[in-house]
Amino acid sequence: MIAKPDAIEQLARAPLVDPFGRDISYLRISVTDRCDFRCVYCMSEDMTFLPKRDLLTLEEIDRVATAFIARGTRKLRLTGGEPLVRRDVMSLFRSLSRHLTTGALEELTLTTNGSLLDRYAQELADYGVRRINVSLDTLDPDKFRKITRWGDLDKVLGGIEAARKAGLRVKINAVALKGVNEDEIEGLMTWAHGLGMDLTLIEVMPLGEIEPGRIDQFLPLSVVRARLLDNYSLIEDPYRTGGPARYVRVKETGGLVGFITPMTHNFCESCNRVRLTCTGTLYMCLGQEDAADLRAPLRASPDDAGLHRAMEEAISRKPKGHDFIIDRRRAKPAVGRHMSVTGG
């Protein structure tokens, strides 16, 4: 039976709240599992990607995002894979920007590897995107090629410059990799701060089977922070973006450094986030396998009553926190899917 319009409107007015009283106000959407890089901590070099028929259409992604916005989502981040490789993805940004215009959505943003920013930065700004995250782990061209396998550092740096010229606020995300870029973190920080960009450091997360051992890659950010304290004054800062990073301001540079520490310090107590994959699977926690299928109710009816019920049921199962651990006995990931599936 199709729900009456007033019943659907009533659903849309009720905020989504998880079992621990946390309002779900932040939705991350992976618009594609494909990427033009093959970063060693994110993907295998020989990846098998989803057939296009399994993906939500851009119109369906818009419909799910709109349903979440109606239930209290205020921040929307598009991710991938690499979101800008999705064909016609700018039409999705254009469509979603209507929620910025009405004030229903406070922020529309994305995380990107920067490879296509020179092409799309101005258009993103035109559609109301005000800040972006760019994933960049090194400023060494040879090392960048080794980490990304296929990437071109000059192209990424050109994209960052295009974004800055378009008026976008850029934050650099860097994964701390033991024996790879740990000697560059200070330089990466001073470079970013010198251009008015903040830096967020991320610990390796045990997601998906990849060739290098995660035990070898893992670098605790507590160690990184201690090393920075040898040369810099780090002042705790209340700045928050809605994500899990905790920030310090560097007195000598004036910039912010964020720390995302899923391994050494659980950041789940205030989690307000859920993640939708490009196939319509909703993950209530990045570090858990439990998920809900939103594609089936989305396609079962032209109205959104079934979709809203599926969203509510999913949020009722959101766990208190993740179970990330690097198993030193088996060297197996805590979660079998690759980071690129859920977009981080």
How high does pLDDT run on average in the chain? 88
Both tokens of 334, joined, read 């805590």
Q: For position 132, what pLDDT does the model report?
A: 98
CATH number for the domain that contains residue 145: 3.20.20.70
Q: For position 261, what pLDDT does the model report?
A: 87
Q: For position 268, what pLDDT does the model report?
A: 65
DSSP secondary structure of 112-133: E-STTHHHHHHHHHHTT--EEE
The answer to whether the beta carbons of residues 338 and 42 sit under 8 Å apart is yes
The mean pLDDT value for 284-288 works out to 81
Give the integer Cα–Cα distance in Å for 60 and 299: 9
**Number of compact structural domains in the chain:** 1
Which pLDDT band holds residue 265 (cuts at 50, 70, 90)?
low
Binding residues for S-adenosyl-L-methionine: 41, 81, 135, 205
Binding residues: 28, 35, 39, 41-42, 77, 81, 111, 135, 171, 205, 268, 271, 273-275, 285
The mean pLDDT value for 296-303 works out to 96
Lowest mean pLDDT among 9-18, 155-164, 200-209, 330-339: 330-339
Residue 243 pLDDT greater than 80, yes or no: no
Q: For position 231, what pLDDT does the model report?
A: 96
pTM of the model: 0.87
Binding residues for [4Fe-4S] cluster: 35, 39, 42, 268, 271, 285
Query: What pLDDT, in 10s, does the model give residues 26-69?
Result: 999 999 999 988 888 777 777 778 888 889 999 999 999 999 99
- pLDDT-above-90 percentage for the chain: 69
Name the more confident of 161 and 339: 161
Both tokens of 339, joined, read 């980071």
Closest CA to 108 of 96, 117, 118: 96
Query: What pLDDT, in 10s, does the model give residues 179-224?
Result: 999 999 999 999 999 999 999 999 987 655 555 555 577 899 999 9
Domain that holds residue 83: 5-342
Q: For position 1, what pLDDT does the model report?
A: 39
The mean pLDDT value for 149-170 works out to 96
Residue 155 pLDDT greater than 80, yes or no: yes
Query: What pLDDT, in 10s, does the model give residues 78-118?
Result: 999 999 999 999 999 999 999 999 999 999 999 999 999 99
The mean pLDDT value for 144-154 works out to 91
Binding residues for GTP: 28, 77, 111, 171, 273-275
Q: For position 136, what pLDDT does the model report?
A: 97
Starting at the edge strand found earlier in the chain, the sheet holding 107-112 runs: 234-237, 246-250, 256-260, 198-202, 169-175, 131-135, 107-112, 75-79, 26-30, 273-276, 281-283, 291-293
